[in-house]
Chain A
């Protein structure tokens, strides 16, 4: 099945210019194509046009001189929590079969068949989708896409919201499917994709095609572009490590945090328990452990947002109330949007200062806009920022005072490479100035490169406390790139 457009142009409502001014593209049957480009360049829009979702389901103004859109296609989207309409696994699979008008008696067998194709074997597939891990949800999304028996498969950043384990899980699944179909892929983390695709199309920020060739050529000629666009390509961490020298043997400052017999409860159930721990200025402690182990609960207990027992002291001051915690600990939430309380970036930064009746608000805020690279967007509503900008703003809003400790809940989650490195640089600078950082993360590379100490949390208990020597054995983890 051939897919393509010629002379495509798209206009987003209210935008000044056209996207893809007269773009032409043709994809041959059975080809596996990867679209690459900076965020906002329109590659997902193009994918939706080629799949026919635009303008059929999403009425974006567009025109093309000619289009060949597959009559039967399947799409996997990025958000595991918003692509299902039914509560149970079997019901969601059945929904697709119902759409295809498959007779009811055949459904049960087919549901098992498609689930097996993505390695999901349940004794009884009547399982709540909500109980699956994010990676499993994406595999379910792939299974339900396969149940359409599509001629062309579209993957729209299927791993963007997954941690590294989930990401490789999903790509392993896709590779094992051994699909003969044409595949069109948008993906920002290309380590595992690059040896899978036949062709890469590279776009610039205006949606102009700047390269269209086999992976080896594109990768060797346009690596600088990939770096500029924040794409996670193989070896990106090595390059980053070479560029950004970190002071390896750090010096411990004075002790500022002491935790004693801390327990955090949700209702009557203890979610986290920490016996006795101390931490010092200039440490970067990474909190690791499985989802639901109690990492976020730990941070929330320190903030007194959860009911707690036991003691926590910062510089010998006990933290008993949220207010006391807020004055000592800057907290950056997992979902930055929930931290915003005003209608513009400027007001957002000024808010906490005004609450403290600080004078010289204007001056400080302007300095922050500069520091966090938000000057151009200072009048926008916080929700209208890009994901990277939102994250930087949330860091800014958290650090209104001179708090000595920074708590971060997966701050780099879902960020592209450029934003990730930018954020890490910001945190590293704060750490060098003596801040103590406690950071929840699933990113092994951050643990390895930036952490000075690791606390592992398992089933509600802090079980391991180890010093990390930054960057050791890094070469061991470099990804071999062969096609």
Chain B
């Protein structure tokens, strides 16, 4: 989400947000039905190139944002690798049971998770929330009451971050006897969550009243930003189609794994 990150606007920022959302959702569903590990590992390159070279963000920031992805890759993959079912045992040690089937299944899940992560990051890095919500109203007929509430709520978040810093300083100065174990969780809830939430609930209420005072209602309205489809949307479509086809062709012609369906 783009409050503070410095970036250059690229063609990906000019995509129609609703189109981008629906299209990525479609890719997501498509990937769910892919069971060929050769294909899915190749396909990862397609969103990766876009994230690295076409989002307009600095490489350092991108690298930081992608650290959790690696963790995710290993954690999604390993859980299936070490404990899955299968017939060709590679390794068995106590409850750990690694089979050929479970290994590839794990790898597959890892790559798929990586793909979802990259596509999600691609969207997040190139979409201004305001344009997204305008587009959701205009293209996907989301009721304005929900869309504008979202935009207003997004505005409150940085204020909350500032309040969080103040709260932390105040509690440090006050001095807190830290509790242990489960009581510690309860303590942080009452020390942090309660003040921050109660402040933002009151703030949200005041904003809602102010919006109604500005005669926000369900009547006919016009729009400051007009979101339309354009040429760049076609480029995006073409890039993905070619990328996916290429990944499939390479995956079937030069397979790394002699296995085409991880379910078997």
Contact = CB atoms under 8 A, between A and B. Distances in A.
Say if the two chains contact directly (CB < 8 Å).
yes
B130 A87 contact: yes
Contacts of A100: 215
Contacts of A145: 214
Contacts of A337: 195, 199
B250 to A, nearest CB: 44
Given A99-B215, A300-B169, A338-B195, A84 B207 contact: yes
A35 B152 CA distance: 31
Contacts of A86: 130, 151-152, 155
Nearest 6 Cβ contacts at the A-B interface: A94-B224, A85-B152, A83-B210, A57-B212, A338-B170, A75-B213
Given A305-B172, A338-B195, A341-B171, A84 B215 contact: no
Given A338-B166, A339-B173, 12 more contacts: A75-B213, A79-B206, A81-B159, A82-B206, A86-B155, A87-B155, A97-B224, A99-B214, A101-B219, A144-B214, A335-B166, A352-B175
Contacts, number: 136
B198 interface: yes
Nearest to B206: A82
A397 B174 contact: yes
Chain B interface size band reads 35 or more
B58 interface: no
B226 interface: yes
A85 B215 CA distance: 13
B166 A85 contact: no
Contacts of B206: 77, 79, 82-83
A255 B223 CA distance: 65
29 contacts: A53-B212, A77-B210, A77-B213, A82-B207, A83-B206, A84-B210, A85-B207, A86-B151, A86-B155, A88-B130, A90-B224, A91-B130, A91-B224, A95-B148, A98-B221, A104-B222, A129-B155, A305-B173, A322-B175, A325-B173, A333-B166, A333-B170, A334-B166, A335-B170, A337-B199, A338-B170, A340-B195, A355-B175, A355-B177
Interface of B: 130, 148, 151-152, 154-155, 158-159, 163, 166-167, 169-177, 190-191, 195, 198-199, 203, 206-217, 219-224, 226
A339 B176 CA distance: 11
A326 interface: yes
Contacts of B226: 104
A119 B24 CA distance: 45
Given A323-B175, A333-B170, A341-B171, A98 B222 contact: yes
Contacts of B222: 97-98, 101-104, 107
Contacts of B158: 130
Contacts of A58: 209
Given A53-B209, A326-B173, A85 B148 contact: yes
Contacts of A286: none
A158 interface: no
Interface of A: 51, 53, 56-58, 73-75, 77, 79, 81-88, 90-91, 94-104, 107, 129-130, 144-145, 148, 300, 303, 305, 322-323, 325-326, 331, 333-335, 337-341, 352, 355, 383, 397
A362 B219 CA distance: 60
B223 A104 contact: yes
A157 to B, nearest CB: 12
Contacts of A303: 169, 172-173
B203 A81 contact: yes
B174 A341 contact: yes
A333 B168 CA distance: 12
A343 B223 CA distance: 46
Contacts of A383: 198
Nearest to B202: A82
Contacts of B207: 82-85
Given A56-B212, A338-B167, A341-B191, A99 B173 contact: no
Contact of A96 (B170, B190, B214, B220): B214
B214 A331 contact: no
Contacts of A397: 174
Contacts of A300: 169
Nearest to B165: A266
Contacts of B219: 101
